[in-house]
Chains A and B, each alone.
Chain A
């Protein structure tokens, strides 16, 4: 039962991943692409959580903890770089 739910959720997440990739390639300005990359990282984090349910291994949760911090640092760094250190 829960395996079936995880599979269906995985398919929905892959479809949304492709939609966000279209925005990432098409995005007119650079901040649009940053937003799309941020969202892609969160979707891949959700995919890692679903893989934890499907395979039954608990290691994936540590990956999720580390990724949720690294994504924030990457976003802040790219934003600071684009404004050349200004606030």
Chain B
């Protein structure tokens, strides 16, 4: 039972990573590509870590895995915010169907 749960978590996490890889290759714009990368950073890593915790049922592995999940969830929004601010300040070429840009005066 636990083995099947770990199997499912591993395969699901890897599929989330594959979805975000296809997204970063196919989407037309920096901001949409960043939207695709969040699948790996949150769900992919968390699901694979849950699989690892289920395979190794020990307390130190559990706490270290929880530590990695907490670190990832704390640091990923900060990094994404910095990259998107940088892209907006560098005035990169965006998709041609955007309706409005509220930060156009902040460049």
Contact = CB atoms under 8 A, between A and B. Distances in A.
A71 B33 CA distance: 18
Contacts, number: 160
A28 B79 CA distance: 20
B75 interface: yes
B22 A19 contact: yes
The DSSP consensus for interface residues of chain A is helix
Contact of A69 (B7, B20, B75, B78): B75
Contacts of A39: 20-21, 24, 37, 40-41
Interface residues on B, range: 35 or more
A71 B83 CA distance: 13
Contacts of A69: 71, 75
A52 B13 CA distance: 15
Contacts of A71: 79
Given A46-B48, A79-B86, A12 B75 contact: no
A31 to B, nearest CB: 4
B1 to A, nearest CB: 11
Interface in A1-48: 1-2, 4-6, 8-10, 12-13, 15-17, 19-20, 22-23, 28-32, 34-36, 38-39, 42-43, 45-46
Interface of B: 3-4, 6-7, 10-11, 13-15, 17-18, 20-22, 24-25, 30, 33-34, 37, 40-41, 44-45, 48-49, 51-52, 55-56, 61, 64-65, 67-68, 71-72, 75-76, 78-79, 82-83, 85-87, 89-90, 92-93
